Structure 1
């Protein structure tokens, strides 16, 4: 039995029919590298064999009776790959627009909690912008199962470094055990629940210290941007259950050249590009606010965390995207300075603080509160917490082969939430930075009108940065 951490379970409690808490990855494959050529039956058979070695793909949720504690993961003794792998062919001629329509539709479908929380849609008949036919795989996994870093690792474990090589061996992908009986579940759950209050003193004292330090930083002007200070935009309200998506590619080499010329980090540059793209998008719509947009940026604490259990080992910080600055280089410099302060402030927060407090999440209370929040459209009535979520996930620096087919596109999509109906996730892969944008349809009907500005902003940065000084 592997009990969900409070943070993992929170993603279950926060889910509503409109606020789906799963993550997706769109993988574009060049099947010409497959040693025996592409065949769906063989592709499915190899995939079925590989996922059986990874517990997150073959375990299901089991509720603790009366919800006295968080659910547990147990082995699904009736696991059937046919429940998780689906096949479809796009109608010819099918290109980017058709692929995005299918991706958005798939991302907007909830998953069956009675089975392992993942699904794959294999798409044939996609013709890329160069006129070359590709096979596309969309993998969807619930956030209670993975975070950004562990999700990227799971995909890597399904891949190999050569077309005909075996899949990469997982190091620690989680346990996969038989479940205990109902009485044992209740007993363990009650023991877990009754012991939680004794951990409060250990949480309260550091939290008070953090508040004191935050006040000091606020006086010095070195604190991270506070929540509830974001301007309201058209994508900050109550969301619907439909999703729209868009993807783009950026050159990692160009981003590294800007980094070398300016001294900014890759993350600073990615955030600055996103800020510039959002500025252009809102300006063209006549919606550009006077103040800068505020992004919630997930931060992996996997290396610092002392917790052994839990799929999600993340914290978060808030960053101003400086959409109020038109000049790309000036925006980058301003963001690099404020991001430095935000990161230093974030270090004062314990790596496990968010996970520790999440242990007190109550299943029924969270679920009812979330539904009431959505039904009363409260996201439109209080100050905006943050405008959007932006994630930057490091990916593999070398070519990967998914069942023999080379991965030529790996686009991530995170969840969107009431109050922040837009998510931008970036992942680097083999010298290319893949950008995935997902939005609630009610918040942004055409994310393509946003994502086209990413390449433009990178070009503007290259033109403004002293690249000639870079050897």
Structure 2
């Protein structure tokens, strides 16, 4: 029996019809590399063979009786690939705009919790902006199953390093076990529940110490950006259940050139580019605030975590994006200093703090509270916690082949939440940084007007460093 961690389960409790807690990716494939050519029938058969070797793809949720504890993962004895992989052909001619419309629609559909929590939509007939015909796979996996890093890894396990090589699936992703009986499940959950109060004292003192440390850092001006201090924008309110999507590519070589010239990190540069793009987007709409936007930036603690169970091993930083700074080099310098303070502050927070506190999330109470929060539109009444989420997910530095087809684009799309209806996720792979933007439709109706500024902002930085500015 594989019990969900409190943090994994919290993504189930946070879900409402409008706030869907799954992560998606748009994967563009060059099928000309497939040894036997593309055939949907063979594509799905090979995919089925590979997913059946990976327990995260063939397990489903099982609730604990009376919700006495967090759910558990059990093997789906009725697993059927037809429930998870779907086929669609775009009408010709069909290109970027049609693909983004379908991606947004697919991202806005909830998943059936009675089955393994993932889906794939295989889209044929897509023509990229250069006129090449490609196959696109849009993936969807629930956040209770993966975080950003583990999600990218899980997709890579279905891939190979050569078109005709075996998949990269490791041998240590767990195993499928029998589902426990109701009495056994209830008994274990009761024991877990009774044991939780004993863990509370171990959490309280470190949390008190953290508050004291944060106060000291605030007085010294070296703290990370505090939540509830972000300016309100048009994407900070109650969200709807519809989604809009946009994607773009950045050159990793250009980012490395800026890094070499300035000493900033890749993450500094990505956040600075995002800040510049958001500044231009809001300026064009006449909505640019006087103070800087603030992002929540998920941070993987997988290497530092002492917890063995749980798919999500993350913490978060709050980062100022410098949207109040016009000059791109000044913004990058500010971002680098802000990042440094935030990272140092984050080191004072235990790697498992978020996961430890999440164990106390009560299924019924948490879910009811989230629905009340949405129904009363409280996100529009209290100060803005943060404006958006920005994630930076490292990908493989070499080509990958998905069922024999080379991946030429892999654009991650995270969840959006009440109060922050915009999510930007970037993934670096084989020399390219892929940018995925997803938003609640009523918050950002046309994210293309935002994503177009990402290459422009990176170009401003590369032009500045080539001219010796900064």
**2-side partners of 1:177 and 1:24: how far apart?**
27
How do 1:146-185 and structure 2 match up within 5 A? 146-185=146-185
1:207 equivalent in structure 2: 207
How do 1:43-54 and structure 2 match up within 5 A? 43-54=43-54
How do 1:10-49 and structure 2 match up within 5 A? 10-49=10-49
Aligned: 1:436 with 2:436: yes
How do 1:316-465 and structure 2 match up within 5 A? 316-465=316-465
**2-side partners of 1:441 and 1:432: how far apart?**
28
CA contact (8 A) 2:2 2:73 kept: yes
Specify every segment of 5 or more residues in structure 2 that has no aligned partner in the other structure, as ranges.
none
Superimposed CA distance per residue, residues 204-256 of structure 1 (whole angstroms, 9 cap, x where no aligned partner): 01101101100110110000000000000000000000000000000000000
1:94 equivalent in structure 2: 94
Aligned: 1:275 with 2:266: no
Q: Secondary structure at the match of 1:420?
A: coil
CA contact (8 A) 2:54 2:169 kept: no
Q: Secondary structure at the match of 2:452?
A: helix
**1-side partners of 2:298 and 2:171: how far apart?**
24
**2-side partners of 1:442 and 1:170: how far apart?**
41
**2-side partners of 1:91 and 1:363: how far apart?**
44
Superimposed CA distance per residue, residues 181-226 of structure 1 (whole angstroms, 9 cap, x where no aligned partner): 0000100001001100000011001101101100110110000000
**2-side partners of 1:265 and 1:439: how far apart?**
27
Deviation at 1:136, TM superposition (A): 0.3
Aligned: 1:123 with 2:161: no
How do 1:209-288 and structure 2 match up within 5 A? 209-288=209-288
Aligned: 1:132 with 2:155: no
Deviation at 1:465, TM superposition (A): 1.9
Superimposed CA distance per residue, residues 310-350 of structure 1 (whole angstroms, 9 cap, x where no aligned partner): 00000001000010000000000001001100000000000
CA contact (8 A) 2:231 2:384 kept: yes
**2-side partners of 1:233 and 1:76: how far apart?**
44
**2-side partners of 1:171 and 1:261: how far apart?**
42
Deviation at 1:172, TM superposition (A): 2.9
Deviation at 1:463, TM superposition (A): 1.2
Superimposed CA distance per residue, residues 113-143 of structure 1 (whole angstroms, 9 cap, x where no aligned partner): 0000000000000000010000000110000
Aligned length, in residue pairs: 469
Superimposed CA distance per residue, residues 266-317 of structure 1 (whole angstroms, 9 cap, x where no aligned partner): 0000000000000000000000000000000000000000000000000001
Deviation at 1:468, TM superposition (A): 6.2
Deviation at 1:177, TM superposition (A): 1.4
Specify every segment of 5 or more residues in structure 1 that has no aligned partner in the other structure, as ranges.
none
**2-side partners of 1:335 and 1:273: how far apart?**
10
**2-side partners of 1:5 and 1:175: how far apart?**
17
Moved over 4 A (4+): 466-469
**2-side partners of 1:217 and 1:433: how far apart?**
34
**1-side partners of 2:468 and 2:352: how far apart?**
44
Note closer, same or farther for the CA distance 1:455–1:210 as it changes in structure 2 (3 Å cut): same
1:106 equivalent in structure 2: 106
CA contact (8 A) 2:231 2:387 kept: yes
**1-side partners of 2:246 and 2:269: how far apart?**
20
Superimposed CA distance per residue, residues 390-432 of structure 1 (whole angstroms, 9 cap, x where no aligned partner): 0000000000000110000000000000000000000001000
Deviation at 1:170, TM superposition (A): 1.7
Q: Secondary structure at the match of 1:439?
A: strand
CA contact (8 A) 1:74 1:176 kept: yes
Q: Secondary structure at the match of 2:146?
A: coil
CA contact (8 A) 1:27 1:136 kept: yes
Superimposed CA distance per residue, residues 358-406 of structure 1 (whole angstroms, 9 cap, x where no aligned partner): 0000000010000000000000000000000000000000000001100
Deviation at 1:464, TM superposition (A): 1.4
CA contact (8 A) 2:144 2:311 kept: yes
Deviation at 1:171, TM superposition (A): 4.4
Q: Secondary structure at the match of 2:212?
A: helix
**1-side partners of 2:210 and 2:442: how far apart?**
38
Q: Secondary structure at the match of 1:399?
A: coil
Compute the RMSD of aligned alpha carbons: 0.9
**1-side partners of 2:175 and 2:254: how far apart?**
41
